[in-house]
Structure 1
């Protein structure tokens, strides 16, 4: 993949001449392209025209009708970023319904309900789907007759749908379906094992991970294996075991035979692919249990690891572990972003992986070597009986962290002496320290918490300037380990107690900004700018007279970048919910909580150019396309009874 190849592909592959209708520019993957850039070269909507942006159409999700008739099937948030391919917009709803939509009018062309939601509500966030994959058969590419939509479902199946007709491809698997779960130990369909993220397709191989229920009561849990399937037949071609079994590379990193029963370590989020290299890049998560690992001594490969896999053979090419023996739930939460950068005059085919802990890991995507040194540094050790944490953890030397890391007295709010004194009282109730301070029986303030830093919405990358835009939130949590009832759990310790640090007179414990976007120059490994997103608690009675700049809201932001603009949809709370108050976040008790916003920033400076109250609660990144000569911005919003797509265009 040559320099700017991913950007050029959006123009050359996504550009179609449609006669008098004008040109079309597509959005062919969940994150825009296979490299997960969330970038488009379109600029009809720009700094000069943004003031004319208005709602062009709204599309009502068919989930709304299902929920009205089946209240127990209430979905989670609408987390899809639609695709636009060959003049049709495609989306998957929270309940797993697939629809084809006219991109100019928002009218439904066809809709398919595979009925996967009827199996039962999945664990974690419930009914949530984060995308579908589009595959075009080269032999029928001109007619489109071989085009397929690929979906991983809540009931742990892989389905293939004819993109033209909206019918299941009966030649794929068994009547259009492939069972992903099979005989996997400890897996219960939908209950603790499902799929939420979009599959990927590279060199005619579908690769799919799994969503596995967090917080198990037992150490025996399903593994997060990743498999490749023939895109035409659905035949399973290979499987990568996320926890190496006996005789496999990395098995020795699981002491006390813990590889025989430990689970999770799954790729629950999105992946990226490099068609030229033939690689798929897998971001693995945390093993069972998220916050206590006394039963699984060792570094625990391939937990919290980025792995490059040959898509045809399923062979591991290289891996990099970002957290050894994880006890912080620091999953790699988003797809690695494939970037072609120039460092010290040398072109590098790299990847940039954002993280919950606030680091951006930049690696050569051909071999996994760090672009800038990543140092193993000593970290605090656990005092919990039976726990054996790693003496060191990897610390990237570049780029700088984009989030506050760890908790010291200097991190506490100090708007007034009284607030600082109150914050110190709370601070002294818990164990605190630098990044990677482990959980304790007393309770440790972990910052970033598992809801903080960057999360599944990931980042956006501008290949014109090699700038990475990372939305993140400051969201510490308290992790207190307790001994469970032996009749209910065979783990020595589980997480208990409170989750969020107490508020200080209705204010967060730590200094702002609480929600931000950071622009990082990936050629230099340096921060270009950082902008707080949202006013935050500036109108608190104790702050309103201090003339503060925006403090940012702890609301998840999802980004998309174009030739001149950065689009930021804000709506997901720090537990993935939304609305005017983040679900899972405590209300700032003396603050009027601001509505969630859809914002447009100057990508060069971070200055806000335009904003509007967000429809519903956007969770996923916006997307953009051009159809019949007009550029559209589309964002998914809402959930439950009000899920919809909202399209914006110049009026």
Structure 2
């Protein structure tokens, strides 16, 4: 059976009284066995494992999976949201922060919230939202204009609306580029405003969210429509600001705590010459220490965006999240030192926001190696002993496993994508390395099966050239110095990997036509689901990597799938709306599949 539903573009608020949601407030933080059939959180539960316990759809009957219903949202743009399903209702964050509630069984629209953005607000990273949080009878969404909004879960009516941050930072402009550089004659396509991309998470009466857009880089037009990104330029100077993660009261939005991702004291760190496991970073420590004398306030502009939804250890009340690159991006003259806590996995006390530990994957990052893919909590088995751990698929191309209590690195996998010239510096002739600014694994959520100690990771192979531009001062004109990164003309592709966490080796890998940007779903039915930018939505045997099913959408499937059950029927859902950064075609559909 196939049903396509739409109530038109941005239709007025519609409330259907027959759909009751009184149990929403009762869910609170009990996202465990009682909600096995739902998908109540961005990562299904606080571990972010994205492993559905449902088995009705499995390797034996996957060939009978077909479209049950679809819904056209009327907003065609980059679509990255994870739908949330609670008590028969699906909540979807649309591009530009509109929100729609649907009957999760039929796709019928229940209500719609239309977001009115602040006039002239610069969007950091396009219009996409990664999702909402639903708890305490409310739907929470962070916005591209740095607001946190609470809606009534029954009606979609706004309950409160607060400003999380002000757009006050100095931004870069093409006037800072060399006139001899062709990039100076192009128009900027990427804004540099602060905003919120992640889906919030609610825990113990607090809605927790972080900001993006603080790791400033000047974004230049793409060389062609199918190219990933365009050039990104980092100009030294007082650009950007410190990122943060913050908690707000679920009832009224009052701020409970804020953790700044750049500390005012100690931000320069220990001037590490290598990563924690001994890989050389090719730093000029002497030059950095000299620069420190004139850049004592670099922390004020330090960067460290928070890109994706945290994981939470409910036994210890510890929150884990990743931070982005330091500011200015790729250019280190005005930010000497390790630039704490950028490109780090950070553990906070959920009640106070105080730091417990941090693990910096790349000190003094000049490549754009944000810790972007959501962290995942699991018990790591080492020498027959279980250790509470947190895993993360890095843009560097390695999967990291850290001790959840101390942050100590327990293991690092083999590279799940090709690596070349790792941690090489930009040069005047251009230095090509991979993975680069795109990753590795970017914001795409991974999935994890603790029982088999397997992580499933969506990867990107995209060679990037880093170029240094320097010109001496001329008359009244100041000296010019900046670094740009841009994709090469080399082949780009994606790779789906199943990583044996016990050994760090690949159990299997599948190469895909295009870089993977979206996210994964694993199920107890022995399946891994994944979408691609060419519109294909596919399922793989989680043990072997064999493709066992596919469907084709009209837009790029660049968002994480979910699975849920209603009235004894298991569904698999994903949104299809593409990704503008990669040139994947835009669309506006919610697609839901079931066995027929």
Into which bin does the TM-score normalised by the smaller protein fall? 0.7 to 0.9
464-473 or 328-337: bigger deviation: 464-473
- 1:243-282 mapped onto 2 (5 Å cutoff): 243-246=262-265, 255=292, 256-282=295-321
Q: Shift of residue 632 of structure 1?
A: 0.7
Q: Supply the distance in 2 between the matched residues of 1:489 and 1:299 (Cα, whole angstroms).
A: 31
Secondary structure of the 1:211 match is: coil
| Aligned match of 2:456 | 469
Compared CA separation, residues 206 and 279, structure 1 to 2 (3 A):
same
Q: Shift of residue 125 of structure 1?
A: 3.4
Candidates 123, 139, 161, aligned match of 1:149: 139
Q: Supply the distance in 2 between the matched residues of 1:314 and 1:51 (Cα, whole angstroms).
A: 47
Query: Quick check: 1:13 aligned with 2:34?
Result: yes
Compared CA separation, residues 327 and 191, structure 1 to 2 (3 A):
closer
Query: Quick check: 1:83 aligned with 2:122?
Result: no
- 1:632-643 mapped onto 2 (5 Å cutoff): 632-638=571-577, 642-643=587-588
Secondary structure of the 1:95 match is: helix
Query: Quick check: 1:57 aligned with 2:69?
Result: yes
Say whether the 8 Å CA contact 1:58–1:646 is kept in structure 2.
yes
| Aligned match of 1:520 | 499
Q: Tell me the alpha carbon deviations over residues 619-638 of structure 1, each in whole angstroms, 9 at most, x when there is no partner.
A: 11111100111111111012
Q: Supply the distance in 1 between the matched residues of 2:473 and 2:113 (Cα, whole angstroms).
A: 46
| Aligned match of 2:374 | 335
Q: Supply the distance in 1 between the matched residues of 2:479 and 2:552 (Cα, whole angstroms).
A: 46
Q: Shift of residue 230 of structure 1?
A: 1.8
Secondary structure of the 1:257 match is: coil
Compared CA separation, residues 249 and 294, structure 1 to 2 (3 A):
closer
Say whether the 8 Å CA contact 2:555–2:586 is kept in structure 1.
no
Q: Shift of residue 182 of structure 1?
A: 4.4
Say whether the 8 Å CA contact 2:32–2:45 is kept in structure 1.
no
| Aligned match of 1:42 | 54
| Aligned match of 1:417 | none
Say whether the 8 Å CA contact 1:300–1:325 is kept in structure 2.
yes
Q: Tell me the alpha carbon deviations over residues 558-579 of structure 1, each in whole angstroms, 9 at most, x when there is no partner.
A: 211001333333334xxxxxxx
Q: Shift of residue 339 of structure 1?
A: 0.9
Q: Tell me the alpha carbon deviations over residues 195-214 of structure 1, each in whole angstroms, 9 at most, x when there is no partner.
A: 11111222222221112164
Secondary structure of the 2:63 match is: helix
Q: Supply the distance in 2 between the matched residues of 1:454 and 1:232 (Cα, whole angstroms).
A: 36
Q: Supply the distance in 1 between the matched residues of 2:323 and 2:472 (Cα, whole angstroms).
A: 30
| Aligned match of 2:346 | 307
Q: Supply the distance in 1 between the matched residues of 2:521 and 2:244 (Cα, whole angstroms).
A: 30
Q: How many aligned residue pairs are there?
A: 503
Runs ≥4 residues deviating over 4 A:
182-188, 248-254, 484-492
- 1:201-350 mapped onto 2 (5 Å cutoff): 201-212=202-213, 214-216=216-218, 217=235, 218-246=237-265, 255=292, 256-350=295-389
Q: Supply the distance in 1 between the matched residues of 2:430 and 2:540 (Cα, whole angstroms).
A: 39
- 1:72-111 mapped onto 2 (5 Å cutoff): 75=77, 77-111=78-112
- 1:362-441 mapped onto 2 (5 Å cutoff): 362-372=401-411, 398-406=412-420, 434-441=421-428
Say whether the 8 Å CA contact 2:472–2:479 is kept in structure 1.
no
Compared CA separation, residues 319 and 81, structure 1 to 2 (3 A):
same
Q: What is the TM-score when the length of structure 2 is the normalising length?
A: 0.79
Q: Shift of residue 304 of structure 1?
A: 0.5
Compared CA separation, residues 441 and 151, structure 1 to 2 (3 A):
same
Compared CA separation, residues 122 and 605, structure 1 to 2 (3 A):
farther
Q: Shift of residue 461 of structure 1?
A: 0.7
Q: Supply the distance in 2 between the matched residues of 1:486 and 1:350 (Cα, whole angstroms).
A: 52
637-646 or 271-280: bigger deviation: 637-646
| Aligned match of 2:469 | 482
Candidates 446, 450, 462, aligned match of 2:433: 446
RMSD: 2.6
Secondary structure of the 1:13 match is: helix
Say whether the 8 Å CA contact 1:452–1:476 is kept in structure 2.
no
Q: Tell me the alpha carbon deviations over residues 546-594 of structure 1, each in whole angstroms, 9 at most, x when there is no partner.
A: xxxxxxx33435211001333333334xxxxxxx4xxxxxxxxxxxxxx
Say whether the 8 Å CA contact 1:219–1:491 is kept in structure 2.
no
| Aligned match of 1:354 | 393
Q: Supply the distance in 2 between the matched residues of 1:159 and 1:502 (Cα, whole angstroms).
A: 42
Q: Shift of residue 483 of structure 1?
A: 3.3
Q: Supply the distance in 2 between the matched residues of 1:112 and 1:62 (Cα, whole angstroms).
A: 13
Q: Shift of residue 86 of structure 1?
A: 1.5
Secondary structure of the 2:426 match is: coil
Structure 2 unaligned blocks of 5 or more? 1-29, 173-190, 219-234, 272-288, 579-584
Say whether the 8 Å CA contact 2:124–2:192 is kept in structure 1.
no
Candidates 159, 173, 188, aligned match of 2:149: 159
Say whether the 8 Å CA contact 2:242–2:299 is kept in structure 1.
no
Secondary structure of the 1:619 match is: coil
Query: Quick check: 1:649 aligned with 2:594?
Result: yes
Q: Supply the distance in 2 between the matched residues of 1:559 and 1:641 (Cα, whole angstroms).
A: 20
| Aligned match of 1:380 | none
Secondary structure of the 1:51 match is: helix
Q: Shift of residue 438 of structure 1?
A: 1.3
Secondary structure of the 2:54 match is: coil
Query: Quick check: 1:569 aligned with 2:530?
Result: yes
| Aligned match of 1:495 | 483
Q: Tell me the alpha carbon deviations over residues 482-518 of structure 1, each in whole angstroms, 9 at most, x when there is no partner.
A: 137989998953234x722234xxxx2x8xxx32111
Secondary structure of the 2:51 match is: coil
Secondary structure of the 1:212 match is: coil
| Aligned match of 1:192 | 193
| Aligned match of 1:541 | none
Structure 1 unaligned blocks of 5 or more? 1-8, 16-24, 65-74, 137-146, 170-175, 373-397, 407-433, 537-552, 573-579, 581-595
| Aligned match of 2:544 | 605
Q: Tell me the alpha carbon deviations over residues 430-462 of structure 1, each in whole angstroms, 9 at most, x when there is no partner.
A: xxxx31111112100021011131110131111
Secondary structure of the 1:294 match is: coil
Compared CA separation, residues 489 and 624, structure 1 to 2 (3 A):
farther
Q: Supply the distance in 1 between the matched residues of 2:473 and 2:350 (Cα, whole angstroms).
A: 43
Say whether the 8 Å CA contact 1:220–1:261 is kept in structure 2.
no
Q: Supply the distance in 2 between the matched residues of 1:192 and 1:632 (Cα, whole angstroms).
A: 38
Q: Supply the distance in 2 between the matched residues of 1:340 and 1:260 (Cα, whole angstroms).
A: 36
Q: Shift of residue 642 of structure 1?
A: 3.3
Secondary structure of the 2:96 match is: coil
Q: Supply the distance in 2 between the matched residues of 1:352 and 1:125 (Cα, whole angstroms).
A: 26
224-233 or 600-609: bigger deviation: 224-233
Say whether the 8 Å CA contact 1:54–1:649 is kept in structure 2.
yes
Compared CA separation, residues 219 and 442, structure 1 to 2 (3 A):
farther
